[in-house]
């Protein structure tokens, strides 16, 4: 039994707009039928779902197949993009496909790009990544929800990722869901994935080897890799805020994690009790900031998120907590000099985050700083 309806209920909301990448194979047509059932059950408008298909022009039959799809999906906004290039390599077609899907995603201001990948696809990706020497994070590969490799502001959603290919084919047959089979998918000379799928996977999934046991073991491995364990979730060190800050709490993560996922951010927000009223758009914004920025800050839901010198700081404080009041004359000012260096250059050299620079205790003569006290220690 597929868990796709559960994932749809978990991640979709009433005004969610999704773009379905439809390939007219059995897996994507099965997914379309699930999305239709979900729409009918939740009484969502037709424009909740945008169907997009890419005609790679690799076979003479593709134009007829696209015409069938356009009629079959006439209840929805339908986009078909034809490939006009001459390079039919796997890389060129993939780049064109994702660029086209991204354009449609932005055109409709979508919340998710829905893909049909299933458990067998994820196992194949895992093996290909492992063959290339990927790290544990790299071998995690496909996620049910994750930012796209093509652009971080496009969120991918794969509700079939825990469903096997056999389960999908059984449902397609039983429900008589129309679909087309692409003969190039069974040619092992076209790509490494095809070779793996047609020459190696059949042996692993041989009936004598009990294929359900193999796929079940792989799913358990993915469940382990996906969990926001202590080795993956950003570890937060609770620090004491300055007596002069109007802050409730102050956390620090020394190493900025480049491979952090949306699930990790959810775990981090729950750890700091700041998960309430967070939308998926907020999660994407936080994720993009944490993974793509080298400095700066974001303020949301009463929490500052600073990035400075390879570390992440979380500070629960009012929006103006960094402002210096006239009474705080014992702190370094931006115009002060430290051994002929400006305060900013001194702080950068000492790796002092920007939000702390107005609260450095000093003694000074005019604008010349004579002593600096960091964490109570004289320098």
User: In the predicted model, is pLDDT for residue 202 greater than 80?
Assistant: yes
Least confident span in 117-121, 131-135, 204-208: 204-208
Mean pLDDT, residues 183-211: 80
Cα(158)–Cα(145) distance, integer angstroms:
7
Q: What is the pLDDT of residue 249?
A: 78
Mean pLDDT, residues 233-240: 63
Mean pLDDT, residues 359-373: 71
User: In the predicted model, is pLDDT for residue 324 greater than 80?
Assistant: no
Q: What is the pLDDT of residue 183?
A: 80
Locate 108 and state its tokens: 């409709």
Which are the contacts of 348, defined by CB distance < 8 A and separation ≥ 6? Answer: none
Cα(143)–Cα(161) distance, integer angstroms:
8
Highest-pLDDT range among 42-51, 162-171, 259-268, 289-298: 162-171
Highest-pLDDT range among 98-102, 197-201, 331-335, 338-342: 98-102
For residues 188 and 194, the answer to whether their CB atoms sit within 8 Å is yes
The rounded percent of the chain whose pLDDT value lies above 90 is 27
Least confident span in 87-101, 240-254, 339-353: 240-254
Locate 373 and state its tokens: 């006290």
CB under 8 A, 24+ apart: contacts of 354-358: 354/295, 354/297, 354/306, 354/308, 355/297, 355/304, 355/306, 355/308, 355/313, 355/315, 355/322, 356/242, 357/332, 358/322, 358/323, 358/324, 358/328, 358/331, 358/332
Locate 350 and state its tokens: 């000492």
pLDDT-derived band at 326, boundaries 50, 70, 90: very low
For residues 113 and 105, the answer to whether their CB atoms sit within 8 Å is yes
DSSP conformation class of 89: S
Q: What is the pTM of this model?
A: 0.64
Q: What is the pLDDT of residue 374?
A: 65
Q: What is the pLDDT of residue 328?
A: 39
Mean pLDDT, residues 304-332: 69
User: In the predicted model, is pLDDT for residue 209 greater than 60?
Assistant: no
Q: What is the pLDDT of residue 307?
A: 85
Q: For residue 320, how far is the Cα from the chain centroid?
A: 31
Q: What is the pLDDT of residue 116?
A: 94
Cα(369)–Cα(331) distance, integer angstroms:
10
Q: What is the pLDDT of residue 327?
A: 36
The rounded percent of the chain whose pLDDT value lies above 70 is 85
Model pLDDT for residues 7-50, shown as the tens digit of each residue: 898 888 767 899 999 988 999 999 999 999 998 888 888 888 99
For residues 221 and 213, the answer to whether their CB atoms sit within 8 Å is no
Helix ranges restricted to H, 117-200: 119-131, 136-140, 165-175, 192-195
Nearest to 338 by CA among 375, 359, 367, 377: 367
pLDDT-derived band at 378, boundaries 50, 70, 90: very low
Mean pLDDT, residues 244-256: 70
The more confidently predicted of residues 254 and 266 is: 266
Which are the contacts of 17, defined by CB distance < 8 A and separation ≥ 6? Answer: 47, 48, 50, 108, 109, 110, 111
Model pLDDT for residues 53-98, shown as the tens digit of each residue: 999 888 888 889 999 999 999 989 999 999 988 888 888 989 999 9
Q: What is the pLDDT of residue 165?
A: 92
For residues 219 and 294, the answer to whether their CB atoms sit within 8 Å is no
């Amino acid at each position: 039994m597929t868990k796709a309806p559960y994932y749809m209920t978990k991640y979709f909301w009433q005004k969610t707009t999704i773009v379905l990448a439809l390939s007219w194979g059995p897996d994507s047509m099965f997914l379309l039928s699930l999305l239709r059932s979900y729409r009918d059950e939740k009484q969502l408008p037709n424009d909740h779902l945008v169907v997009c298909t890419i005609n790679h022009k690799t076979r003479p039959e593709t134009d007829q197949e696209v015409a069938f799809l356009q009629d079959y999906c006439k209840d929805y906004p339908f986009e078909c993009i034809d490939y006009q290039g001459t390079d039919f390599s796997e890389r060129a077609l993939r780049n064109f496909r994702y660029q086209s899907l991204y354009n449609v995603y932005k055109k409709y201001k979508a919340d998710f790009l829905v893909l049909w990948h299933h458990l067998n696809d994820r196992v194949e990706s895992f093996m290909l990544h492992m063959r290339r020497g990927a790290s544990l994070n790299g071998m995690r590969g496909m996620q049910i929800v994750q930012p796209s490799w093509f652009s971080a502001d496009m969120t991918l959603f794969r509700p079939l990722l825990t469903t096997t290919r056999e389960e999908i084919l059984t449902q397609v047959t039983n429900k008589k869901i129309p679909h087309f089979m692409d003969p190039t998918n069974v040619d092992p000379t076209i790509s490494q994935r095809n070779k793996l799928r047609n020459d190696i996977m059949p042996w692993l999934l041989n009936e004598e080897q009990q294929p359900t046991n193999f796929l079940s073991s792989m799913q358990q491995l993915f469940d382990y890799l996906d969990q926001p364990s202590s080795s993956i979730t950003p570890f937060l060190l609770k620090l004491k805020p300055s007596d002069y800050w109007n802050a409730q709490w102050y956390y620090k993560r020394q190493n900025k994690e480049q491979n952090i996922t949306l699930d990790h951010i959810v775990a981090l927000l729950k750890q700091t009790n700041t998960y309430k009223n967070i939308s998926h758009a907020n999660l994407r914004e936080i994720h993009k900031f944490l993974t793509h920025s080298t400095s700066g800050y974001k303020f949301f839901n009463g929490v500052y998120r600073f990035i400075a010198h390879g570390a992440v700081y979380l500070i629960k404080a009012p929006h103006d907590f960094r402002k210096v009041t006239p009474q705080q004359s014992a702190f370094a000012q931006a115009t002060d000099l430290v051994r002929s260096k400006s305060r900013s250059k001194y702080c950068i050299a000492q790796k002092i985050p920007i939000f702390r620079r107005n609260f450095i205790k000093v003694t000074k003569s005019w604008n010349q700083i004579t002593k600096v006290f960091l964490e109570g220690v004289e320098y």
